[in-house]
Amino acid sequence: MSLRLRGLTARGLAPFDFELGSGECVAVMGPSGSGKSVLLRAIADLDPNEGTAALDGEDRAAMTGPDWRRRIGYLAPVPGWWADRVGAHFPDREAARPIIEALGFETGAFDWPVARLSTGEGQRLALARMLVGAPKALLLDEPTGAVDEASRDAVEVLLKARLASGVPILIVTHDSEQARRLAKRALKIDKGAVHEGHP
């Protein structure tokens, strides 16, 4: 599975070309406000943007927004919840169980009220919720920004398993160590300009 971008541009982001190969992880790095989140949201087609994007040769423009986003898993830096209990966000609990257990939760977590989740728990559960849909590529915006070391390691193990199965990952991180652990290439963004480099 590969992700190909051609002339992609969005608010404040200069047009650029980029290709993410099967099972490859690329770290997106840059100072706060440089356009990292804009880039991921543009690829996920959550904001108006121009240019082309294709996943495994399937052009984004040839499918609806929801169809594209079911293929591309986008994780926002702040998780959103639309029901009171965690379980209501997981329609298929059987499929979710191994993922949330791998992230350090017990199945009782389904009964937890969302309002009592810590920021880190929310981030990990939102990641699990997204992975249940088995997206073909992952766009992760600071997925471990608020989690402790043990939880971060659990997240990375899960991500490495996805990489091993051929899923490409674009990950925004301020943690250069994490970037080096997961990625061999980096996209460095500064004031909306995108350059390729190393983490």
Partner 1 sequence: MNPIALSNLDLALAAGLVLVHAALSLALSLGLGRQLIIAVSRMVIQLALLGLVLQFLFETVSPWLTLLAALVMIGFAGHEAVARIGRKFRGAWGHGIGTVSVLVAAMLIISYALTTQIQPDPWYHPRYAIPLLGMVLGNTLTGVSLGLNTLTATAARERVAIEAQLALGATIWRAMRPTLREAMRSGLIPIINAMVATGLIAIPGMMTGQILAGASPETAIRYQMLVMFMIAGGTGIGVFAAVYAGTWRLTDARHRLRLDRLAEARTD
Judged by the rule CB under 8 A, the positions of this chain that interact with partner 1 are 44-48, 64-67, 69-70, 73-76, 78-82, 126, 129-130, 133
- 11/174 with CB nearer partner 1: 11
CA–chain centroid gap for 121, Å, is: 16
Give the shortest CB-198-to-partner 1 separation in angstroms: 29
Question: Cα dihedral sign for 38, 3, 25, 154?
Answer: positive
C-alpha–C-alpha distance, residues 144 and 68, integer Å: 25
Q: Go through 6-40 and write b for each residue having 16 or more CB atoms within 10 A of its CB, e for each that does not.
A: eebbbeebeebebebeeebbbbbbbeeebbbbbbb
- 36/129 with CB nearer partner 1: 129
Give the shortest CB-10-to-partner 1 separation in angstroms: 12
- 129/152 with CB nearer partner 1: 129
- 48/177 with CB nearer partner 1: 48
Give the shortest CB-196-to-partner 1 separation in angstroms: 26
Amino acid occupying residue 67: D
* 3-state class (DSSP) for residue 40: helix
Give the shortest CB-116-to-partner 1 separation in angstroms: 17
